[in-house]
Amino acid sequence: MTGAGVSAESGVATFRDSGGLWKQIDPMKVATPEAFEADPRFVWEWYDKRRTQLKDCSPNPGHYAVAAMEKAKDDGFFLLTQNVDDLHERAGSLRLAHIHGKIYEVQCLQEGVIREDRRAPLPELPPRCPNCGAMERPNVVWFGEQIDQNAVLATESFLSQGEVDVVFVIGTEASFGYIIDWAQRARHPKGALIEVNPGRTTLTPYADLHLQGKSGEILPLLTQNL
Ligand SMILES: [Zn+2]
């Protein structure tokens, strides 16, 4: 399971840290359905800027180490990320679910159809559905909304195969209850819950091991012999 900390090492802005996005702008102005309804263009300008900034970011050794874990474990591996960027995919991850959506996807407000649009900046804000012409929204999970249900299904489907030997929780403050819940449910009673994070989090008391530091430095040490 990964969070903003993994992408922060690639220069992607985090949310809650000092200097994070939510220190610069009130999330209620750009990350709620109400904000979008009130001023879709303003919300889209903010997302367009983030989509454009992300184009200049590259996966870091932490992303590549996660992809190496998957390569070693094949279908015995699953990645649940809270990140909306595509850096895991760009590092080679295939079996993953974006629980908070994807920033390069847009959703038609009329038909609900989701499509990928990687153009950044977008030529028109807000973007329009090529099929019906209705306004589209970013396919990300906003405050007050349900987490991505396809991602939930994919995660539950993986867990239904049985508990896992090792659960890594990487670069997240684990501030969401479902993250803590999944991390604990996924671990086999004799398995290990390993946290990789520079600081202590709400999950730390439940972890068997807390590897304190940056994921881009710690994870490659763990995977170099895979
Ligand atoms: Zn449409």
* Cβ neighbours for 105, distance < 8 A, ≥ 6 positions apart: 114, 115, 116, 117, 138, 139
Position 17 pLDDT exceeds 90: no
- Amino acid 26: pLDDT: 84
CA–centroid distance, residue 115 to ligand 1 (Å): 10
Q: Is the pLDDT of residue 27 over 70?
A: yes
pLDDT at 174: 79
Q: How far is the CA of 40 from the centre of ligand 1 (A)?
A: 16
Paired strand residues for 79: 96
Which tokens hold the place of 151?
Answer: 């991602």
- Distance from C-alpha of 215 to C-alpha of 7, rounded to nearest angstrom: 10
CA distances (Å), 220 to each of 7, 27, 58, 63, 109, in order?
15, 34, 16, 9, 42
| pLDDT for position 16 | 66
CA–CA dist 19, 154 (Å, integer): 33
Round to whole Å and give the CA distance between 1 and 179.
Answer: 8
pLDDT at residue 97 above 90? Answer: yes
CA of 6 to the centre of ligand 1 (A): 34
Complete DSSP assignment for 167-214: EEEES----SHHHHHHHHHHEEEEEEEEEEESS--TTGGG-SEEEES-
With cut-offs at 50, 70 and 90, classify the pLDDT of residue 153: very high
* Interval between CA 109 and ligand 1 midpoint (Å): 7
pLDDT value, residue 164:
94
pLDDT digits (tens, 9 = 90+) for 201-224: 999 999 999 999 999 999 999 999
Task: Check residue 215 and give its pLDDT.
Answer: 96
Domain 4-223 has CATH 3.30.1600.10: yes
Q: Tell me the average pLDDT of the chain.
A: 93
pLDDT at 135 over 70: yes
Query: By three-state DSSP, how is residue 57 classified?
Result: coil
pTM score of the predicted model: 0.93
Catalytic machinery residues: 100
- The one-letter code for the residue type at 108 is C
Mean pLDDT of 84-98: 97
Distance CA 160, CA 70 (A): 18
pLDDT at 193 over 80: yes
28, pLDDT greater than 90:
no
What is the DSSP-derived secondary structure letter of residue 111?
A: T
Q: Give the distance (Å) from ligand 1 centre to CA of residue 131.
A: 5
